[in-house]
Amino acid sequence: MSLQNPVFIPGPTNIPEEIRKACDMPTIDHRSPTFARMFKPAVAGVRRVLNMGAGEVIILPSTGTGGWEAAITNTLSQGDTVLAARFGMFSHRWIDLCQRHGLAVQVIETPWGQGAPLGAIEAALRADTGHKIKAVLATHNETATGVRSDIAGIRRALDAAGHPAMLFVDGVSSIGSMPFDMAGWGVDIAVAGSQKGFMLPAGLAILGVSPKALGAMETAGLPRTFFDFRDMLKSYAAGGYPYTPAVGLIAGLAKSIEILEDEGLEAVYARHHRLAEATRRAIAAWGMRPCAASPDLYSDTVTAVLVPDGCNGTELVQLAATKYGVAFGVGLGEVAGKVFRIGHLGMLTDVMLLSGLATAEMCMADLGWTVKLGSGVAAAQEYLRNSTTVALAAAA
């Protein structure tokens, strides 16, 4: 794999040079005022990106999976019931994690390519008259299928059912790249990771925790030590951690938020939408379509491309890596071999995207797929030529 080429996987993403330099720092005392001065702006910045109201930001040395575990162990007890739809690899993994912790998971099986089924979720909540369901788990952006779910719609379902369950959202591949409204959507725990929209190396689980979820800590019975929010918040009050933090990554997080806010969050979201739409136009020109079942479900950070009958998406990914030094994402779980995935998030420009689309076309031709070289690139170029002018004019 060439280190000179950008990656087109849905995380980890390309790292801006400014962030790499911010992470590359000498050792400091993590219990000193120097660390506190670095840490507090990062926490405040995460609060703005999540659009939080009241509540706390928790930053753990971990990944998104650790964030999921922290969310449930700090708020739930063994035997508690949670509600979740399974419609992709990452919603499946969160369900599996809950089951391993002894939770009773009420699973709504949903076809891959669909999003969280709002009607079925509301029906399940209405049927739970005894309020046994303590939390609803939702994957905002399912990277296995390139599907975005309606989190505001899940909040409406909770409210319509008059149900007191908490709402936990996996925003690992959406936060920092797509609009996220923790306060407006009534999210109780939002989980992000450092390696996607924040454009850092993997190593931080980033959580927003509502007052309701903080209150649930008092009765939660699942064991936790490393992920204990109570220990974290006690140390935060003194500007530090209960153990050794990932100091370089936290320095990089502060720089990441500075970069995002210098561009403007709305501009960041618009850029991701533009890159995603250009990708979808290229796919249509190839005679293919996204795995996502309908346009309202399309992700702005990753597109899973359904490959033609008789073709294998994994072969394209392997060829791109070995022959051209470019990384795409393979299909996972139920869509393994049926798709290849183009990540278009983080540090990515129009020009970088076009190089990835051109590489995908070369791989298709090499594999003998029916494709006209330049067709997808031309479709993306035509869209970007016009939409980029509009975006630059708006920014000016």
Task: Name which of 34-38, 87-91, 257-261 the model is least confident about.
Answer: 34-38
* pTM reported for the whole predicted model: 0.95
| Residue-level pLDDT at 393 | 42
Report residue 219's pLDDT band, with 50, 70 and 90 as the boundaries: very high
**Rounded Cα–Cα distance for residues 54 and 13 (Å):** 30
Q: What is the DSSP letter of 237?
A: T
**Rounded Cα–Cα distance for residues 394 and 388 (Å):** 10
165 contacts: CB under 8 Å, gap ≥ 6:
83, 125, 131, 133, 134, 135, 136, 158
| Residue-level pLDDT at 236 | 86
Overall average pLDDT of the 293-304 stretch: 98
Does 64 have pLDDT greater than 70?
Answer: yes
Report residue 1's pLDDT band, with 50, 70 and 90 as the boundaries: low
Q: What tens digit of pLDDT does each residue of 81-108 get?
A: 999 999 999 999 999 999 999 999 999 9
Q: What tens digit of pLDDT does each residue of 314-372 get?
A: 999 999 999 999 999 999 999 999 999 999 999 999 999 999 999 999 999 999 999 99
Per-residue b/e over 355-387, b at no fewer than 16 CB within 10 Å?
bbbbbbbbbbeeeebebeeebbbebbbebbeeb
Q: Which domains does the chain have, with CATH numbers?
A: 17-261 (3.40.640.10), 265-395 (3.90.1150.10)
